Chains A and B, each alone.
Chain A
Amino acid sequence: MRKARLFMALFAAKILVFIIKILGRGKGTALPGRVALKIYPGLISDLSSRIGKGVIVVTGTNGKTTTNNMIARILEAGGCRVLINREGANLITGIATAFAREMDFLNSRAFDYACLEVDEAAFPGVASRVRPRCVVITNFFRDQLDRYGELDRTIALVRNALKEMEGIRLVLNADDPLVAQMGRSTGLQSVFYGVAEHGGVTSQGAAAREAKFCPFCGHELAYRYYQYSQLGAYGCPGCGFSRPDPDVEGTSPRRGGSFTQCRVRFRQGSSVSLEVPVYGMYNLYNALAAYSTALLLDMDPQRAAVFLKGYRPATGRMERFDYRGKQVYLNLVKNPTGFNEGIGALVEMSDGGLDVMIAINDNDADGRDISWLWDVDFEILADCQDRINFVCSGLRAEEMALRLKYAGIQEFRLMVESDFNEAVSRVLNGGAGKACILSTYTALWPVERILSGYANRDQTPAEYLPHVS
Chain B
Amino acid sequence: MPIGIRPRLNICHMYPDLLNLYGDRGNIMAYRMRCLWREIEVTIHQVNIGDSVDFERMDFIFLGGGSDREQNLMAADLVEKSGALQAAIEDGVPLLAICGGYQLLGKYYKTLAGDVIPGLGLLDLYTEGGETRLIGNVAVEVDLGGVTQRITGFENHSGRTHLGRLDPLGKVLAGHGNNGRDGMEGARYKNVICSYLHGPMLPKNPFITDYLIACAVKRKWSIPLKPLNDSIEMSATNVMLKRLLGN
Complex Cα gap A152–B239 (Å): 33
Residue B33 CB within 8 A of the other chain: yes
Chain B min CB distance to A399 (Å): 5
Complex Cα gap A370–B16 (Å): 20
A150 with B68: CB separation less than 8 A: yes
A406 with B135: CB separation less than 8 A: no
**Chain A residues with CB below 8 A from B236, complex form:** 396, 398-399, 401-402
B137 with A149: CB separation less than 8 A: no
A-side interface size class: 20 to 34
A406 with B33: CB separation less than 8 A: yes
**Chain B residues with CB below 8 A from A405, complex form:** 232
Q: Would you list which residues of chain A between 105 and 162 have a CB under 8 Å from chain B? A: 142, 145-146, 149-152
Known contacts A146-B156, A368-B154, A414-B232; is A151 also within 8 Å of B67 by CB? yes
B21 with A375: CB separation less than 8 A: yes
Residue A416 CB within 8 A of the other chain: yes
**Chain A residues with CB below 8 A from B18, complex form:** 212
B69 with A369: CB separation less than 8 A: no
Chain A min CB distance to B30 (Å): 6
B69 with A213: CB separation less than 8 A: yes
Residue A403 CB within 8 A of the other chain: yes
Q: Would you list which residues of chain A between 323 and 374 have a CB under 8 Å from chain B? A: 368-374
**Chain B residues with CB below 8 A from A374, complex form:** 23-26, 29, 200, 203
A398 with B232: CB separation less than 8 A: yes
B22 with A398: CB separation less than 8 A: no
Q: Would you list which residues of chain B between 206 and 235 have a CB under 8 Å from chain A? A: 229, 232-233, 235
**Chain A residues with CB below 8 A from B21, complex form:** 142, 145, 208, 375
Chain B min CB distance to A334 (Å): 14
**Chain B residues with CB below 8 A from A408, complex form:** 33
Complex Cα gap A407–B26 (Å): 10
Complex Cα gap A275–B144 (Å): 59
Complex Cα gap A76–B147 (Å): 66
Please count how many residues in chain B sit with their CB below 8 Å of the partner chain's CB atoms: 34
Complex Cα gap A146–B199 (Å): 12
Chain A min CB distance to B20 (Å): 6
A402 with B204: CB separation less than 8 A: yes
Residue A23 CB within 8 A of the other chain: no
B137 with A368: CB separation less than 8 A: yes
B200 with A207: CB separation less than 8 A: no
**Chain B residues with CB below 8 A from A152, complex form:** 67-69
Which of the residues A212, A396, A406 comes within 8 Å of B29, measured between beta carbons? A406
Complex Cα gap A214–B154 (Å): 31
Q: Would you list which residues of chain B between 92 and 139 have a CB under 8 Å from chain A? A: 133, 135-137
Residue A411 CB within 8 A of the other chain: yes
Residue B162 CB within 8 A of the other chain: no
Q: Can you name 21 A-B residue pairings with CB atoms under 8 Å?
A: A146-B135, A208-B20, A212-B17, A212-B18, A213-B69, A369-B154, A369-B156, A371-B22, A371-B26, A372-B23, A374-B200, A375-B23, A396-B236, A398-B235, A399-B236, A399-B239, A401-B232, A402-B233, A406-B203, A416-B232, A416-B235
Task: Report A's interface with B, CB cutoff 8 A.
Answer: 142, 145-146, 149-152, 207-209, 212-213, 218, 368-375, 396, 398-399, 401-403, 405-408, 411, 414, 416
Closest 9 CB pairs of A and B: A374-B23, A374-B26, A371-B23, A398-B236, A150-B67, A369-B154, A371-B198, A398-B235, A402-B236
